[in-house]
Every structure is written in C-alpha cells, then in structure tokens.
C-alpha cells in the first residue's frame, strides 16, 4: 500500500473532492458516511472522525499500482500536512470495487463530524482490484518452543497486556497458563491506571495492580507499568473536581510519588504520560491540559524523583508509530524534554494496526532511528492487528491469518533491527479477550488459546534471526 507524506489537505481540497458525484446517493449525509467509514474499520486513527477524516477522490484506477501512482500524484500536488494512502476496494455491504485515494487530515476537526467524509464509493464503473498474492503459509515452529524462550537470546522483551480479572478466574485457567508460559513481560491492561488504583482523593486500592505484580514475579516476568497520567479512565473525583492549576500539580505529583514509590524497581518502567498529542501538538485533555501547560514535565520529574534512574520513564501514544504529523509533534516535544534536562528514557509506540490499512515498516524504522539519535529507547507497547475490520462480519480466512502472521513478523524484525527497540509487546494475547472484539481476531492465540500462524511466525522470526545484542 503506498503511503506518502501528504503535503496539504486543507478544507478547500476536501470540499472540492467531496462533490456529490463521489457520494453513494444513499449515503449523502456526511455524518452517516463518517459512521459507515468507521464501522468498516478503515479509520485506524480515532474512534470517531474528529482527528482523521477521509477525503478521497475516485481514481478510476485499473490496478493497485495505477491507484498508488495516482494517489501519490494527488498528494504531491497539495501543500500542507497529512498523509495519503491508496485504499483498496471497499468490499463492505456498500462496496463496489473502486479504488480511492484516502487523505487523512483535519478537514474540520469537529468531533463526530466528517466533512469531506469518505467519498470513494460509486456504484457504476467498477474496477476490480489486481489480486494480492497470498502470504505463504507459516510453518509450525519446533514443538515446545515458547515465545519467551525464543526471545531469550535477543535482548528484547516479548510482552503482553494482562488482565487482573482473567488472571484470577478459576473458570478460565488457560489464560494464566498461556500468559505466563509465553511472555517474559506483562503490563496491567487496566489495573494500575489512575481510575482503578486511586478511587477517592485520599484512598488507594492496590488490589488489582498488586495482583498483576505478584503473579508476574511468581512467573519470573518483568512488569511494564501503565500508566501514571492520562486524560481517560480517571476517577470522578478528579474529572469533576474543578481543581485549580496548583491543586492539579499537587494531585499529579502526589499520585505519581505514591504509585512509583510503592512499586519501586519492581516496575521496569512506567508509561508516565499516555496519549497527550494529536497531529497538531498537545491536545486538549482535561483535567491536565491546558490547565497545567507543563504537566508532562511535572509528571516526568516527579516520577524520576521517587523512582530513581533504575525505573525507566516512557511517553506512550498511538498512531505515531511511523513518521507522520503526530509522531513529528511528539518527536519535537521529547527532543525539547531532552534539551531541557527533563528525565525521559523512551517512547512507547502502541501499534494498534489493521491488515486493511497500516503504516510501512520503512517509515516505522525511520521513526525509531530518529528517537535513537536523541538517546531514547522505543518500546512496541500495544500491538494488535485486526484481521478483519471491526463490524465487517467477515471471517478471518486462512489467507488473512497468514498475512497477519507475516505482518507480525515484519514488525518484530523491524524492532530487532533497531538497536533502541527493547520491548515487543502485544495488547492481550488471546482473541477470547481483546478490547477490539473477538470477531476481528487481532491477537496471537485464538479464542481457545491455540497458537495462530502469527505466534508461529514470531517464534520462527526469533529463532531464525541471529541475535545481535543481549
């Protein structure tokens, strides 16, 4: 899939492209089209269309290559920021087989609205796609080799998000067995976040978070802490508190000092601040921003003060895995932190990907390399790859499973090739329990805990790649 840095998708461009002739007549209302677009799973950047809108012209392409050339030309013709990618045929219920050039930008930035919208549908003039060659089947790995055994010689953690509730569920014993056998690093999916751990201003509830640390230590696993400051999943006393800026600083420092202080070096690292940026820079994220303009610095300084240098401190975000306007904004900010002497050790790249639409590995490698030049580590923190778009109702066929396996292995190889990439972590491991939904089959083990081709592909990649660091 061609993906080009796109110079300018301004409102004018969107308006020009979103002419009636591009719309499927029955989807003429922009909001509906936006919903449809999200439902089909093409929008990987946000749950609604506020940050990434599709604005596309029909390309009348005859093949993927033809589409890519036309899409690149369209992107190059416009000045500004954003990205363009050629998206394949829409095979959803309203799909008709046309290629479109998908231009991501902030066309209007209004939550829930998608001006410009998805304009690639047309009923007539169907051009079938050139078939994508199927990914070769994945050979099984040697029997008895687990992911963590295969990773051991590489100096890279192989991790998973873990759920305190499922870990303790006697009716679902395989969850803990597979999680502990396969992974050498874990992150509490929810249990250590501010909401669950700090339910009242003066009360902490350590039960869930402690249980994740305890179980991990019993299984000789490292714990990656997630997270100390976020604009989401906060307790109501914090969101509804109407606190002044000095009060918020005191709350943030107190929370971080208490949590990092409790776990000390039992936590290998913490996501100190989570998801603070959009494509234009720091995003409005109450209660923290804009009320406390330097809240990121405040958080990192507090974490280093109590944790010391042995607890690594990370900034973590999504849709900033490759070089794009959002990762540019993050890069600029962390570069500033390094220059100002604010303690930061690395950047977490979440990697919530989908087979239908994703970044290139070349661009991911460039992003990792520029962070390396700043002296920062990178962790792949929340990898999952939707096999089929959410809500599409389509099965994840054997062919798609092989394509998913190849993409997992390619991402792992990109991490192994980057000297500063120290952790490769999936956001859950079984399709039985995933925030995305079992139907999209995004993870390494199926809903019955059987390894999928993706698990074998990762093991093979680890076994067949010479370890270059310990």
- Interface contacts to ligand G3I, rule CB under 6 A: 189-190, 232-233, 274, 318, 350, 382, 435
Provide φ and ψ at 423, rounded to 5°. Answer: -150, 135
At closest approach, how far in Å is the CB of 54 from ligand G3I? Answer: 21
Query: 68, 179, 377, 382: which is the annotated catalytic residue?
Result: 382
Residues 6+ apart with CB under 8 A from 135: 399, 402, 403, 405, 406
Minimum distance from residue 274 beta carbon to ligand G3I (Å): 6
Output the six-digit token pair for 231: 């604009």
Considering the complex, state which of residue 71 and residue 260 has its C-beta at the smaller distance from ligand G3I: 260
Query: For residues 193 and 164, what is the distance between their CA atoms, to the nearest angstrom?
Result: 12
Closest to ligand G3I by CB, 427 vs 456, is 427
In the bound state with ligand G3I, the residue whose beta carbon lies nearer, of 60 and 284, is 284
Q: Is 275 a catalytic residue?
A: yes
User: Could you tell me which residues come within 8 angstroms of residue 29 by beta carbon, excluding any fewer than 6 positions away?
Assistant: none
Q: Smaller CB distance to ligand G3I: residue 61 or 441? A: 441
- Token code pair at residue 246: 């000095």
What is the smallest separation between the CB atom of 396 and ligand G3I, expressed in angstroms? Answer: 20
CA angle in degrees (0–180, nearest 5) for 329-334-338: 150
Catalytic residue among 275, 377, 425, 461: 275
Nearer to ligand G3I, 64 or 191 (CB): 191
The Cβ of residue 448 has, within 10 Å, a number of other Cβ atoms equal to: 9
**Nearer Cβ to ligand G3I (6/318):** 318
By CB atoms closer than 10 A (0-12, 13-18, 19+), residue 66 is middle
Smallest distance from ligand G3I to CB 374, Å:
23
Closest approach of ligand G3I to the CB of residue 232, in Å: 5
54 bridge partner residues: 104
Instruction: In angstroms, give the least distance from the CB of 106 to ligand G3I.
Output: 21
Q: Which residue, 314 or 318, is less far from ligand G3I as judged by CB?
A: 318
Q: Given the structure tokens 């998608």, which residue do they identify?
A: 114
Q: Rounded distance, CA 192 to CA 252, Å?
A: 15
| Contact residues for 18 (Cβ-Cβ < 8 A; gap 6+) | 30, 55, 115, 116, 117, 119
Cβ atoms < 10 Å from Cβ of 34: 24
Closest residue to bound ligand G3I by CB: 435
For this structure, is 382 an active site residue? Answer: yes
How far is Cα 268 from Cα 16, in angstroms, rounded to an integer? 51
Nearest approach, Cβ of 92 to ligand G3I (angstroms)?
A: 23
CA distances from 284 to 280, 281, 287, 293, 359 (A): 11, 10, 9, 10, 26
Q: Whole-angstrom Cα distance, residue 429 to residue 449?
A: 9
Q: Active-site residue numbers?
A: 275, 382
């Amino acid at each position: 899939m061609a993906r080009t840095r796109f110079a300018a998708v301004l409102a004018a461009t969107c308006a020009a492209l979103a002419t009636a002739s591009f719309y499927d007549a029955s989807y003429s209302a922009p909001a509906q089209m936006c919903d449809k677009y999200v439902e089909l799973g093409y929008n990987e950047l946000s749950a609604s269309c506020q940050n990434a809108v599709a604005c596309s012209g029909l390309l009348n392409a005859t093949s993927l290559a033809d589409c890519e050339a036309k899409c690149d030309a369209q992107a190059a013709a416009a000045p500004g920021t954003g990205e363009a990618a050629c998206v394949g045929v829409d095979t959803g219920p309203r799909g008709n087989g046309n290629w479109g050039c998908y231009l991501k930008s902030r066309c209007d930035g209004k939550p829930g609205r998608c001006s410009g919208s998805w304009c690639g549908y047309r009923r007539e003039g169907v051009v079938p796609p050139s078939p994508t060659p199927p990914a070769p089947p994945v050979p099984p790995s040697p029997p008895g080799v687990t992911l963590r055994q295969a990773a051991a010689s590489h100096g890279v953690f192989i991790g998973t998000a873990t759920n305190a509730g499922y870990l303790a569920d006697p009716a679902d014993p395989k969850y803990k067995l597979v999680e502990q056998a396969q992974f050498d690093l874990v992150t509490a999916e929810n249990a250590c976040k501010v909401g669950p751990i700090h339910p009242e201003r003066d009360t902490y509830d350590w039960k869930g978070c402690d249980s994740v640390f305890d179980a991990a230590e019993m299984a000789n696993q490292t714990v990656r802490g997630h997270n100390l400051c976020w604009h989401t999943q906060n307790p109501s006393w914090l969101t509804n508190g109407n606190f002044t800026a000095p009060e918020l600083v005191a709350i943030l420092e107190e929370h971080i000092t208490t949590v990092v202080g409790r776990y000390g070096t039992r936590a290998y690292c913490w996501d100190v601040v989570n998801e603070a940026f959009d494509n234009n820079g720091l995003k409005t994220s109450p209660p923290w921003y804009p009320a406390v303009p330097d809240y990121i610095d405040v958080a990192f300084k507090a974490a280093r003060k109590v944790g010391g240098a042995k607890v690594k401190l990370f900034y973590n975000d999504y849709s900033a895995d490759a070089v794009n306007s959002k990762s540019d904004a993050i890069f600029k900010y962390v570069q500033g932190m390094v220059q100002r002497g604010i303690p930061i050790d690395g950047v977490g790249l979440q990697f919530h990907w989908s087979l239908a639409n994703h970044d290139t590995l070349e661009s991911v490698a460039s992003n990792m390399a520029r962070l390396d030049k700043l002296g920062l580590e990178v962790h792949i923190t929340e990898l999952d790859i939707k096999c089929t778009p959410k809500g599409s109702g389509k099965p994840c066929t054997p062919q798609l499973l092989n394509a998913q396996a190849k993409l997992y292995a390619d991402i792992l190889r990109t991490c192994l090739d980057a000297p500063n990439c120290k952790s490769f972590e999936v956001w859950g491991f079984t399709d039985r329990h995933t925030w995305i939904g079992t139907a999209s089959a995004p993870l390494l083990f199926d809903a019955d805990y059987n390894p999928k081709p993706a698990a074998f592909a990762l093991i093979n990649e680890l076994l067949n790649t010479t370890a270059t660091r310990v």
